[in-house]
Amino acid sequence: MSNPADVPAPSPSATGGPAAEPLGVALFGLGTVGGGVAERLLRHPQTLTAGRPLSLKHAVVRDVAKNRGIDLPAGVLHDDMRRAVDDPAVAIGVELIGGIPQAFELCRDLLRAGKHVVTANKALICERGPELFALAAEHGRMIRYEAAVAGGVPIVAGLTESLAANRITGIRAILNGTSNFLLSRMADTGASYADALAEAQKRGYAEADPSMDVDGTDAAQKLVILSRLAFGAEVTFADVSMGGIDVLDAEDLSFAEELGCAVKLLAVAKRTERGLELSVRPTLVRRTDAVANINGPMNVVAVRGDLVGDAWFAGPGAGREPTASAVLADLLSIAAARPPFRPRQPDSPLRPVPADELFSRFYLRFRVVDRPHVFAALADILGSSGISLASIIQHAGPEADDNADPSVVSVVVMTHRTSGARLRAAAERWAKLESLRGEPVVMLVAD
C-alpha cells in the first residue's frame, strides 16, 4: 500500500492554479498493447486529464530497429532497461514484456527505485503478486493491474471500489476470449475444433500456440487474482480445479444444444460452508442464463454481493485498444492519487476446497462399440461408484465421415450432483472397458 505523502497530488490546474509537473512514464515493451498506450499518450493527451498530466519518457524494447508504426520523440525509444529504471524523471513504470522471471525482476527494481508500477501481466500477478504487493507497501508505492484480468472490462476496480461495501459470495465468469470464440464458432457453424482454431488464429483471436488459452490456464490465473480481491483468500493456481476445451468437438456442442444449453469455459469462485470452491472447466449453461449468450471474443464477470445482488461486467477481453484502455486507466488512477487495490479481509480464513470435494452435475460423453451390455457395464460402474444417472442420450456415429466405424456410437450420460472423488473413482474403472474408444469427455453442468 502507498504512503499518501508519496502519491502524486491532483493537478492544481483543476482548480485554476498553474499546471502541475507531468508524471514521467516508462513503457517496457512496445508490442500490441504498449503501442496502443504510447499512441494515446502521445497523440491524444487531452483525454488523459485525471490528476497530474502524463509524459512518456522511455519506451524500452529489445529491437530498436523494428518498425512499430509509431513516431516517438527523439531519445524515447531504446533498449536500455536500467537507464529507464534509474531515471529520476520517471514516476511510473509500465511492465508489458510478459512472462514471469524477467517481469518480476523489472517490477521489483522499479519499486525499489521508488516508482509506481502498472502491469498487464496476469501470470506475474497470479504467481508473484503477493511478493510485489509487500514490496510496494514497503516502499510506499502502488502496483496496479486492471489490464491483467479481462482486458477492457474494469473488474478489478469494480471489485475493489464500486463493490467495496459488499460481502462477495460468488463469481461466475468467462475470462478467455479465445476459448469463447472457438466455442461460439463450433456451436454456430458446426466447425470442428481444429477448423475453429484455424479461423481464430487467422482473425487474431488466438496465438500461434494457444495452449494456455484452451487448456484453462489463462482463465485460472485470472480467477486466482479475482478471488484474492473478492474474498481476501490466500489462493494459488494449484487450488483451481481446471479443465480445457481442447478435448471437445462439434458433437459435444450439438448435444449441448439438444439439451437446451451452451458450452462455456466457465470460471467459478464460490463461498460455501466448506470453504472457497474454485474451478475453470467447460460447462453446460442453460440458454436462459445470460452467461450463455456472451459470444465471440467477449468476456463477462458476474459478481454476487450481499448488498448489490448480481452485478455484471462485460466487454472485450483482449486486443490493442481494450487492454490499452485498462493500462491507461491505471496510469490515470496513479496520477489522480487514488488509493491502491486492496483485497477484502475475510470474516474467517477461507480454505480452498479440493477438487475431489467439489460437487456438480456432470455431462459425460462416451464413444463405445455398439454391442449388447455395453451401456449396462457403464451404468454399473457409475452406480457402484455412487453416481446417480439423470438422463441418457445415444447417437450413432457421424454419417458424414466415410471412415467412421458405424459400430461406434456416442452415449451421453447426464448425472445428478456428485463429487469429484466419485467421478475420479468411476473414471479409473471405465478406462479398463474394452468397448471404450478414446477418452470420454467430461463437462460440468451449471446449477
List residues with catalytic annotation.
Answer: 222
What is the per-residue burial (b if ≥16 Cβ within 10 Å, else e) of 413-430? bbbeebbbbbbebbeeeb
What is the per-residue burial (b if ≥16 Cβ within 10 Å, else e) of 242-273? bbbbbbbebbbbbbbeebebbbbbbbbbbbee
Locate 138 and state its grid cell: 514497503
d(CA 423, CA 359): 10
Beta strands 90-95; 23-28: pairing state: parallel
d(CA 93, CA 77): 15
Residue 432 assigned to a binding site: no
Residue 115 assigned to a binding site: no
d(CA 407, CA 370): 5
Locate 65 and state its grid cell: 530497429
Locus of grid cell 493456481: 237
What stretches of 10-119 adopt beta strand conformation (E)?
Answer: 23-28, 54-60, 77-78, 90-95, 116-119
List, in sequence order, the alpha helices (H) in 244-400: 250-258, 320-335, 374-384
Burial of 100 (0-12, 13-18, 19+ CB in 10 A): middle
Between CA 263 and CA 269, with CA 268 as vertex, the angle to 5 degrees is: 175
Give the distance from CA 226 to its chain's centroid.
9
Locus of grid cell 496465438: 207
d(CA 400, CA 377): 29
Beta bridge partners of 267: 173, 280
- For residue 76, report the phi and psi dihedrals to the nearest 5 degrees: -75, -40
d(CA 219, CA 224): 9
Among 182, 297, 172, 201, CA closest to 248: 182
Annotated binding site: 122, 207
Annotated binding site for NADPH: 122
Annotated binding site for L-homoserine: 207
